[in-house]
Amino acid sequence: MTEPIAMIAVDWGTTNRRAWALGRDGKVLAERQDGEGLLQVKPQGFARSFADFAALWLTRGERLPVLMCGMVGSKLGWTEAPYIAAPADLSGLARHLHPVPFAGDARIVIVPGVSAIDRGVPDVMRGEECQVLAVMAQRRLRDATLLLPGTHSKWVQVADGKLVSFRTYMTGELYNALTSSGTLAQLMEKGEADGEAFLRGLRQVRDEGSGALTHLLFGVRTLGLFDLMPRASLSTYLSGLLIGAEMTDAVAWSGAKQMIAVGSPKLLENYRRAADFFGLAFEAHDNSALLPPALHMIARDSGLVA
């Protein structure tokens, strides 16, 4: 006899979405993902898109609890779930769930994102707050500096169980932009990641300072032009510069000597090498394993499931 589905957890982002059918104790019973991120769904199409996506797990007439996180709660998403402001009690996320009007066989709520303000300039996260909650709970910690690398990398300070402050770095987006067009991309060739080139990028940042980044970027071009680095290694060197600059600034900002990193194993590997290079302790967690228990915990704390 199969265990009944107690709730559905969803991470609905800009380019992808993933969902997990969870049992009563949070056990993952089934999982699915597709490419129907916000960019693929029409403004009025979220209800239909979700109903199709989750059809196999829904039962006519039963309003199954569904907890969503990620960009689905943004202005461009299904329904805007207002940010809660840092400092924010992580255990308080469950008290700020935002209901989504849905006529189908589900009771849908969205986890709010978190905003912070620094010298009048806001910063925002959506989805990362759940990963922070999950890893802090799993590690039974109340204080930590966390790193969530990605297109927009986040560095997060948690103190006494509160998400106190955070900083976003455009590392991944800059990498994508500079490797896809412009005078650096022109010289790049496809190739294996080159560990030596990555370290050389980190060394440049250490020696010249992250403040020299827009100068150091030009070196990607000249190293290629003068044949001082294989053209297939230039993108790895660029990655070393960008990750080096991010880590240097984030460590200066946070004062952290150790960090808990949450992300895809492939991305984390580069950050681990950078942390080693800068003499920082690094603990890695695969993000895909963290979200289902986090969303289950929030659902339970909020009373969405028993």
Catalog residues that contact a second copy under the rule CB under 8 A: 75, 119-124, 152, 167-171, 173-174, 177-178, 181-183, 204, 207-219, 222-223, 225-226, 228, 242, 245-246, 248-250, 252-253
Shortest reach from residue 141's CB to a second copy, in Å: 24
Of 97 and 178, CB closest to a second copy: 178
Per DSSP, helices labelled H in the chain are 46-53, 128-138, 171-180, 195-208, 213-225, 234-254, 265-277, 287-302
CB environment 13-44: b (16+ within 10 A), e (fewer): bbebbbbbbbbeebeeeeeeeeebbbeebeee
d(CA 135, CA 86): 18
d(CA 8, CA 67): 6
Of 22 and 88, CB closest to a second copy: 88
Determine contact, residues 77/150, Cβ cutoff 8 Å.
no
Of 154 and 296, CB closest to a second copy: 154
Shortest reach from residue 201's CB to a second copy, in Å: 10
User: Can you state the angle between helices 287-302 and 128-138, rounded to 10 degrees?
Assistant: 90
Q: Residue type for 151, please?
A: T
Shortest reach from residue 72's CB to a second copy, in Å: 16
Shortest reach from residue 303's CB to a second copy, in Å: 31
Shortest reach from residue 94's CB to a second copy, in Å: 25
